[in-house]
Structure 1
Amino acid sequence: MKKKKRTLKKAVDPISLSITLLIIASLVLFNVLPLVKVLIQSFTDAEGTYSFGGYIRAFQFKQNRDAMVHTLVSSVSAAAIATVIGFIFAYCACYIKMRAKKFFNVIAILPIISPPFSVSLSIILLFGNKGLITHTLLGMASNNIYGFGGLLFAQVFSFFPMAYLLLNGVLSTIDPSIEEAARDMGASRLKTFCKVTIPLSLPGIINAFLLVFIKCVADFGNPITIAGGYNTLATQVYYQAVGGYELQRCTALAMLLLVMTMVIYLLSQLVLEKRTFVTITGKATRERTMIEEKHITVPLTVICCVFAVIVGIIYIMIPVVSFIKLWGVNYSLTFDNYIQAWKIAKQALVDTLKLAVITTPVTGVIAMLMAFLIVRKKNPLSKFMEASGMVGMIIPGTILGYAYVLLFNQKPLYLTGTFLILIASCCSRYLPVGLQSGITSLRQIDPSIEESASDLGANSLQVFTKVTLPLIKSSFFGGLVYTFVRTMTSMSALIFLISARHKLLTISILDQVDRGKYGPASAMSTMLILVVYAAILILYQLLGLIGVNKKDIKLM
């Protein structure tokens, strides 16, 4: 009799049911309906009738066709080059005996804590009309860095750290005994590399390429800063949306970008499902013997040093320029840029911090609650909850921001211009990382621990807060750090949603770049980087006090 009662209690747990329905309602409102709105609008003409006219006109418009070609060409090129560079760095980190490997991780974190257009800004400062290299050192009267070349340069150096982090994880888990067996059978280093290492890491290489490709396709910060007339789909959607172009054609173009990113994402997931390429145990049996032959280590060290120096120069340019009176004209030192930046961006910094501080715990708690409900409280809605929760990982920020404007710009859902819509946008975009991490962690924990708490009379909320959350604290706090950093540097979705009442630092920086005021823009960027880095250090220290290892926290 008791057993039946307990089973009945679990089946109709009101707390789990209430939280599940509330989360699903929120996901439908902020993740599903905006995309449905874009889809419906793309088939609705000015008279309110349904047709494919928007898609036909989107293809007929030459600038849109050019943007599609530009997006594919630049994204494939940047992803291929970034993956190759990332693989070289990862191979050196895992296989080659060399110094300063820890610097690779510094390189990897720089794009994360910087504004999304930092690399483009530095390239302009180095190679633009008043660039340090082109104008000051080479004496060139003018140099057009804007276009395909500048965009390719910017995207490669923005996203190759992502490829490095992914491939570093792949190569580090290959069992060294497999390669040593090939060597023992007489294979050379090169043959072992080509016949063993590359095939074992190939799914990881393909996945790295596809994920970088997605980032390049969805990239907004670099194209709008340095692409010039070389429009991509992300910037073309923005220009048509803010320029008051025909709504149906604009939404049709947005759907094309959305479909492109979804197809690439699904391909990457298919590749991930084949990740049986590593080892039998999933962990290297023993430590790998590092390669020490000079004819291998010297060229690879030189290659890594060259790219590391380029990255260092790119990112050091921003704080350097922030202290220069007038870049390209007057190189005297000054603090005027910081004074001007503080006057312009004081409110933007406060609003950005406020947004990050509110968004971070909300997103973290929702992600862990969803993971708990999906893994431990399975029901017919679990699959839908998981799929709709992952929307932010697939949808370009440009599309999400535009979709929010379309849906929340009229009653009864009028949220445009409010702070709530900014919070909702960031929660939607950065929820997937914490959710995915929480699901993975929970699937590795024996459910009998939580069942014991339930048997002792704890309800679902008590089990979650007292048992589950402490067990997955690394995933929870890792999601918090990730959300905070990403919210502080977010731009692509928020540029559609910002209003005169609220200002954000990344958008204020972009405004200064557009005006050619590189000194104040660099000062604001430096302020943002310092604030984010300081916040990360403080968070790491606090997490260390409660027993969370910072190595368990991933920022990508």
Structure 2
Amino acid sequence: MSLYHKKRDVWTIITTVIFLFYLILLVLPLFTLLKESFVGGEGGRFSLNYFIEFFSKKYYYGSLINSLKVTVSVTLLSAILATPLAYIMTTFKIEGKIYLQILILISSMAPPFIGAYSWILLLGRNGVVTNFMNNVFHIQTPDIYGFTGILLVLTLQLTPLIYMYLMGALKSIDSSLLEAAESMGVTGIRKMWKVIIPLIMPTLLAGALLVFMRALADFGTPMLIGEGYQTVPVMIFNEFISEMGGDDGFAAAISVIVIIFALAVFLLQKYISNKKSFSMNALHPISEKQEKGLKNILAHIYVYGFIALAILPQLYVTYTAFLKTSGRIFVKGFSLDSFKLAFDRGGDAIYNTFMIGLSALVIVVTLAILIAYVTVRRKSTLTNGLDIITMIPYIVPGSVLGIALLLSFNSKPLLLSGTAFILVISFVIRRLPYTIRSSAAIMHQISPSIEEASISLGASNLKTFFKITLPMMLPGVISGAILSWVTIISELSTSIILYTAKTKTMTIAIYTEVIRGNYGTAAALATILSIVTIISLLIFFKLTGKKEITL
């Protein structure tokens, strides 16, 4: 066998092993889920009874309609808010821009259910703002529960995701296009609507898809603040973990319906994006300008106003973490008692978060590097299949993946349920796409001629990869790894299905303390999680030399 074939076979083996990893730990569970939805029930025969039951009762299909209302509303509102925010932050000189960008990132990194819990403390029936408005001005504030609360929490949480996408796209627009438009009398809002939005539309659609999927999959927010406004993730959880005798087959059938629905949206977005896609290369990128007068004032009000609303939940949670408590009630004065209780009750959860999270991150980084390399440099039918299969987690909600893993690995020979390993698997599968995306993006920027030069000088293929290619990939890998890490430690929807008392993570601990009414302990744990997130972002900025994150 020639040296070329030996080199090729090394990467073929690596690709095959990774492909098998996905087949066993993602495709098999999803196939088991599909089988359970059609074969569950009496006799184990093929049946459509679960699907018929779902669509024949409003209680069930109404939850799907509710989820559709939430996801569409959140996606549209996030896009409407994020577009001018990104435009202003790109083209205007805004005071304290660096710190504002960090605050925008922090506001998007916390679990959404923490925002829900915070808004309950602020605008709930016994909330601080509610009581203040009622006692001082005798004004009854609008009800924060139900659809309104879910929309508020998820919009503030997810708008920064589209913002990060758009910041990258706006930097790719050549300023000469805008100057040409202005010379033809197209200025202000007309310039944005006629020129900028069409140019950033593919990126806007990509960001909107991510927001749609995140809103569709969110479990904690509707569970805490929904109050009867039931969405599909909550219904799946209640059906699967019901103390009144839930039905695994029915939960599987609902999960299959959600996957089909998400897949249809995903394919629609891809179709529209492909029709509108084009490449941009800015020789003269848009530069920020110092605006004057009313335009400058309005721009600052918009940016500062949004960031104040977005960061308010975390600030208030941090504030309550330092308040004195008497039992479950906050009292006057400040204290560190909540943090002491947090470490006493949630010490294991903090340890598990780091151990399980870091274990998952090591696997994520390793796999992302290899997958990015083979899908960009070693194109074949196998690598194309791998590229497609790695996208599946984008359209599978966390609770659905959790159920699929439990159904598949709840008996020998692969008895993984109840172990930390099944959580590691779920985190890897769910968060690997973030690092693959950023690693593949930088891989495209590395010229193959550099690797060819190394090989021509006698270096082996693997030596070239480790000595030349990998060091050049590191900035993209680090960027994706930080985003993966932050989303791993804030994961709830999958963890709530898979955890046990021994594998409880911080998000589970926060959620259970909120449910029990131990708001001080929950606030302390949430504050610790926020501090870890901030430190992670600061490490990212230090290692990459960047002042912002773009997707």
CA deviation vs aligned residue, 1:323-358 (integer Å, no higher than 9, x gap): 122487623222221111111111110111111221
**Alignment partners' CA distance in 2, 1:501 and 1:434:** 29
Alpha carbons 1:16, 1:460 under 8 Å: kept? no
C-alpha distance 443-88 of structure 1, shift in aligned 2 (>3 A)? closer
Shift of 1:437: 2.1
CA deviation vs aligned residue, 1:166-206 (integer Å, no higher than 9, x gap): 22222332222222222222344343333323333333334
C-alpha distance 23-287 of structure 1, shift in aligned 2 (>3 A)? closer
The range that moved more, 359-368 or 139-148, is: 139-148
Secondary structure of 1:381 counterpart: helix
Pairwise mapping of residues 123-142 of structure 1 onto structure 2 (< 5 A)? 123-139=119-135
- The answer to whether residue 261 in structure 2 is matched with residue 257 in structure 1 is no
Find the counterpart in structure 2 of residue 102 from structure 1.
98
Find the counterpart in structure 2 of residue 232 from structure 1.
231
CA deviation vs aligned residue, 1:78-97 (integer Å, no higher than 9, x gap): 21111111112112112334
C-alpha distance 370-43 of structure 1, shift in aligned 2 (>3 A)? same
Pairwise mapping of residues 54-453 of structure 1 onto structure 2 (< 5 A)? 54-139=50-135, 144-243=143-242, 244-274=245-275, 276=277, 279=280, 282-288=281-287, 290=289, 292-326=291-325, 330-453=331-454
C-alpha distance 553-211 of structure 1, shift in aligned 2 (>3 A)? closer
CA deviation vs aligned residue, 1:468-522 (integer Å, no higher than 9, x gap): 2112111222232222222211111111111122221100000011111111100
**Alignment partners' CA distance in 2, 1:296 and 1:307:** 17
CA deviation vs aligned residue, 1:98-135 (integer Å, no higher than 9, x gap): 32333441232114442331211110110112211002
The range that moved more, 387-396 or 415-424, is: 387-396
- The answer to whether residue 11 in structure 2 is matched with residue 5 in structure 1 is no
Q: Which one of the candidate residues 29, 35, 39 is aligned to 2:24?
A: 29
**Alignment partners' CA distance in 2, 1:313 and 1:373:** 43
RMSD over aligned Cα atoms: 2.5
Alpha carbons 1:207, 1:271 under 8 Å: kept? no
**Alignment partners' CA distance in 2, 1:284 and 1:63:** 56
**Alignment partners' CA distance in 1, 2:288 and 2:251:** 56
C-alpha distance 417-456 of structure 1, shift in aligned 2 (>3 A)? farther
**Structure 2: gaps of 5 or more residues:** none
**Alignment partners' CA distance in 1, 2:421 and 2:410:** 13
Secondary structure of 2:333 counterpart: strand
**Alignment partners' CA distance in 1, 2:302 and 2:220:** 28
Find the counterpart in structure 1 of residue 518 from structure 2.
517
Alpha carbons 2:479, 2:540 under 8 Å: kept? no
Alpha carbons 1:151, 1:226 under 8 Å: kept? yes
| Matched residue type, 1:347 | D
Pairwise mapping of residues 404-553 of structure 1 onto structure 2 (< 5 A)? 404-455=405-456, 458-538=459-539, 540-541=541-542, 543=543, 548-550=544-546
Alpha carbons 1:478, 1:552 under 8 Å: kept? no
C-alpha distance 101-399 of structure 1, shift in aligned 2 (>3 A)? same
Alpha carbons 1:92, 1:300 under 8 Å: kept? yes
Alpha carbons 2:104, 2:310 under 8 Å: kept? no
| Matched residue type, 1:317 | Y
Alpha carbons 1:359, 1:427 under 8 Å: kept? yes
Shift of 1:552: 8.4
Secondary structure of 2:411 counterpart: coil
CA deviation vs aligned residue, 1:54-81 (integer Å, no higher than 9, x gap): 1111112332212111111111112111
**Alignment partners' CA distance in 2, 1:228 and 1:168:** 36
**Alignment partners' CA distance in 2, 1:89 and 1:496:** 36
**Alignment partners' CA distance in 2, 1:456 and 1:194:** 53
Aligned length: 543
Shift of 1:284: 4.7
**Alignment partners' CA distance in 2, 1:76 and 1:120:** 19
- The answer to whether residue 40 in structure 2 is matched with residue 45 in structure 1 is yes
The range that moved more, 126-135 or 15-24, is: 15-24
C-alpha distance 138-256 of structure 1, shift in aligned 2 (>3 A)? same
**Alignment partners' CA distance in 2, 1:390 and 1:184:** 43
Find the counterpart in structure 2 of residue 20 from structure 1.
15
Alpha carbons 2:323, 2:330 under 8 Å: kept? no
Alpha carbons 2:437, 2:480 under 8 Å: kept? no
Alpha carbons 1:474, 1:552 under 8 Å: kept? no
Shift of 1:267: 2.8
**Alignment partners' CA distance in 2, 1:92 and 1:98:** 8
Secondary structure of 2:332 counterpart: strand
**Alignment partners' CA distance in 2, 1:174 and 1:540:** 24
Give the percent of matched residue pairs that are identical in Structure 1 and Structure 2.
29
**Alignment partners' CA distance in 2, 1:108 and 1:476:** 22
Shift of 1:538: 4.2
**Alignment partners' CA distance in 1, 2:453 and 2:187:** 56
Shift of 1:275: 5.6
| Matched residue type, 2:131 | H
**Alignment partners' CA distance in 2, 1:481 and 1:288:** 28
**Alignment partners' CA distance in 1, 2:329 and 2:283:** 52
TM-score (norm. length: structure 1): 0.91
TM-score (norm. length: structure 2): 0.92
Alpha carbons 2:322, 2:338 under 8 Å: kept? yes
Alpha carbons 1:368, 1:435 under 8 Å: kept? yes
CA deviation vs aligned residue, 1:130-149 (integer Å, no higher than 9, x gap): 21100244238998532111
The range that moved more, 362-371 or 191-200, is: 191-200
| Matched residue type, 1:48 | G
C-alpha distance 453-300 of structure 1, shift in aligned 2 (>3 A)? closer
Shift of 1:459: 4.3
**Alignment partners' CA distance in 1, 2:278 and 2:93:** 25
Alpha carbons 1:45, 1:53 under 8 Å: kept? no
